[in-house]
Amino acid sequence: MMLEQKAFLSGNEAVAAGVRLARPHVIAAYPITPQTTVIERLAEMVEDESLKAEYLNVESEHSALSACIGASAVGARTFTATSSQGLLYMAECLHYASGGRFPVVMMNANRSVALPWNIYGDQRDSLSLLDCGWIQAYAENAQESLDLIIQAYAIAEHPDVLTPMMINLDGFVITHTYELVSLPSQEGVDAFLPPFQTVNKMDLDHPMSLAFTAGPAYNQAFKQLQHQAVLSALKVILDTEERFGQLFGRNYSGLIESIHCEDAEFIIVTLGSVAGTVKPVVERLRSLGERVGLVRIRYMRPFPDREIRKALAGAKAVGVLEKDISFGYEGTVFTNVNSALMRSKVIQPRLLNFIGGLGGKDISVADIERLFLRLKSPDDGETVGFI
């Protein structure tokens, strides 16, 4: 195992440190709260030459991702970061990157979308873009953010995957909170992450068509390949985490993290930093003899349907807690979890959807305790509720 240096960093600083270790050739970004300090740190690193990369100050998020796509098309490793309205402004290019199979890595600071205008955290920005063909991961803390950035390049650039990847950090709660972080050595990351090699690039020795048109006769075939590529990430993520664990001693649990689910009757399913607030509640209720558990979804795409079915198999009631709402129906995470359970042949647990944390509304320990009480109380016929 490689020796690591400890530092007290914010989530954004941890991301910048991870990006530097991954040695991207091109960084293109446009500042937006609460992402700004990531690209400020990266700009400083390029300026002081501790990161040898081309840093492109562009005039918009649309251009930031377009520049990354262009750079990726000549075989460069690329990075961008954004948030909220910036991510939405990239929407057109998100499909271009995934359809063109350009493994751009992006950090998104999860933030509410206007109106009403708000710079605080919820996950409506990235969850509304689940269908754009990107792999989506959600971090719980700064260490996981850093490690996910490094792993993201290995996953996205894998020949079976060749798909862009978005690492999501809850705005402010992760991006602006300082905590103890282990920094992998450059030597270790170089061993883990060899330089980007791809055949999917403009190359004078092997000229080929890129970013082309495909009519009705061929278009669906490309989309099927794209679907297969994202599904292939299921295995590549596990292999990547295993290799990462061997080198750096930090082991991740695959597409979900499950805590005390083996015999749990009441389980909260959630994602991002709020899972960290659920953890001490689960431990305290367990110490009182309550059979409660937690599933933290780490990847929304590809979606861990098998893992979720397994974790929830014995539960009586499950609450999906998310900082998202698809107006007029339910939360998107809930839709996905419900769909995973419907694929199962066994008896379903009662499933509730807790919508909270919109626009940065705090979710407290007492809130989580109330949610577990709600799961234990008799069915009142309501499925979706705001907390």
Residues that bind another protein (CB under 8 A): 6-8, 33, 119-120, 140-141, 170, 172-174, 176-180, 273-277, 279-280, 360, 362-365
Beta carbon of residue 173, minimum distance to another protein (angstroms, whole number)? 5
Strand partners, 246: none
In the complex with another protein, which residue's Cβ is closer, 36 or 344?
36
Helices and strands per DSSP (H, E), number in the chain: 13, 15
In the complex with another protein, which residue's Cβ is closer, 13 or 61?
13
CA angle 233, 234, 236 (to 5 degrees): 55
In the complex with another protein, which residue's Cβ is closer, 120 or 354?
120
3-state DSSP assignment of residue 337: helix
Beta carbon of residue 303, minimum distance to another protein (angstroms, whole number)? 24
Look at phi and psi of residue 223 and say left if phi exceeds 0, alpha if psi is from -120 to 50, else beta.
alpha
The contacts of residue 269 (CB under 8 Å, 6+ apart) are 294, 295, 296, 297, 308, 312, 318, 319, 320, 321, 333, 337
In the complex with another protein, which residue's Cβ is closer, 274 or 351?
274
In the complex with another protein, which residue's Cβ is closer, 194 or 280?
280
Beta carbon of residue 211, minimum distance to another protein (angstroms, whole number)? 40
Beta carbon of residue 362, minimum distance to another protein (angstroms, whole number)? 5
In the chain, what's the furthest Cα-to-Cα distance? 69
H or E element, residue 12: helix 11-22
Beta carbon of residue 185, minimum distance to another protein (angstroms, whole number)? 18
3-state DSSP assignment of residue 189: helix
In the complex with another protein, which residue's Cβ is closer, 126 or 273?
273
Beta carbon of residue 271, minimum distance to another protein (angstroms, whole number)? 13
- Sign of torsion, CA 53 74 223 154? negative
